[in-house]
Structure 1
């Protein structure tokens, strides 16, 4: 099976779906991560300093994905400014990734996240995975991103309501190892983006779904194909 994960920034792939990606790898799937932005340029006024950090983040993304067992591609859409580029450009990038990797399962951000890049990544992914006759995508799932999903503007129409859970009891440590590569993105407690909170969050979702640790997902689209012969 082929699996594709579409995220806005380096570290989103670990925070949201790292344990699940490692599970796919462990069961023999081909897993690829597509990162659409460097995730740092919005923090810098100095272009030289930004370039140095971009290179560091790209290197960390490769290391993190190596720990998870996935391949990775990285793009340069403007950090925290996805709303300044045509959505079609993002859609076409995702479509190219889908054409290259031919995934059956696609993971992406939740549409209600506070971060505009997350929101538009989800929209672009849903557009790119629309169920055309030639499409091989059977499932599109949205994941939770700590400090983005739970901080969104409260509205019943965009709240994260998981419908699917993956037991990551065997891969939680792998997820945390991959997360540790992004040490510069981790915060001090009680911020939600800490290794301790990530572990606790997995335990809470696990308790809600009857396992030791879990990652939650909202199903955006599922197509069940049955062979009638």
Structure 2
């Protein structure tokens, strides 16, 4: 199988690790090029400074061994295609030339996750428009676009077995100590109240549905077409 280029986009640092850290680790281990992009710096987060979260994001990227990490400058709670950073996002997609793009699933309790989902959907489409103005790199059509889950979940269109990478995924999440560990100077939030354990439980539930120990579930932006009937163990 030929080498793949994968672009995983989230609204905040830690979104990709929550939703698809295992998949990211699995593909970097296979030798694929995997890039992670955060649209905002999460500057409105209840805990942690922007500087702290950037250090944590770099540590998580190292843990997952990603090819590269992009930090864009959309304002937290201000993700919109009207913002000037939209052109930067569009140009990044054209420059990376990903075979696959991932974004958060649009049904999520956090408005930024829903906004990120829609923004990336638009950007993937606009990346293929040859005459789109103000973009430096030539147009590029992304082959596949999928959604990962952050806070909520739905019935996935497909699962990926991350059993061998669950530990590395949780190691990447633990890099975000300011978000997931209640400290003396922090305030209690849903993220500090057993959030990593809840992510593990969801991965275990998806794994049970898929017949493996741990799995991550994904929705497809378009109908999936298979080359042949897949085998499924009983």
TM-score range, shorter chain: 0.7 to 0.9
User: Within 2, Cα distance between the matches of 1:182 and 1:93?
Assistant: 26
Q: Which residue is 2:220 aligned to?
A: 219
Deviations 1:109-138 (A, max 9, x none): 111212121111111111111284863421
> Helix, strand or coil: the match of 1:55?
helix
Residue 125, structure 1, aligned to residue 126, structure 2:
no
Provide closer, same or farther for how the CA distance between residues 103 and 86 of structure 1 changes in structure 2, counting only shifts above 3 A: closer
2:109 aligns with 114
Tell me, yes or no, if structure 1 residue 183 matches structure 2 residue 143: no
1:76 Cα deviation (Å)? 2.2
**Map 1:71-220 → 2, pairs under 5 A:** 71-82=68-79, 85-87=80-82, 89=84, 91-130=86-125, 132=128, 135-146=140-151, 149=152, 160-186=154-180, 191=190, 194-220=195-221
What do you get for the CA RMSD once the two structures are aligned?
2.8
Q: 2-side partners of 1:124 and 1:222: how far apart? A: 20
**Equivalent residue for 2:64, pick from 35, 53, 68:** 68
Q: State how far apart, in whole Å, the 2-side matches of 1:169 and 1:29 are.
A: 19
Structure 1: runs of 5+ lacking an equivalent: 45-49, 151-159
CA contact (8 A) 1:3 1:105 kept: yes
* Cα distance change, pair 57–210 in 1 and its aligned pair in 2 (3 A): same
Is residue 11 from structure 1 mapped to residue 11 from structure 2 by the alignment?
no
Number of aligned pairs? 206
TM-score by length of 1: 0.80
Output the TM-score relative to the length of structure 2.
Answer: 0.78
Report if the CA contact (8 A) 2:74-2:83 is conserved: no
- Label 1:176 to 1:225 Cα distance change in 2 as closer, same or farther (>3 A): closer
Aligned to 2:30: 27
Secondary structure of the structure 1 residue equivalent to 2:39: strand
- State whether residues 187 and 194 of structure 1, in contact with CA within 8 Å, keep that contact through their aligned partners in structure 2: no
- Mark the runs of 5 or more structure 2 residues left unpaired by the alignment: 130-138, 183-187, 228-234
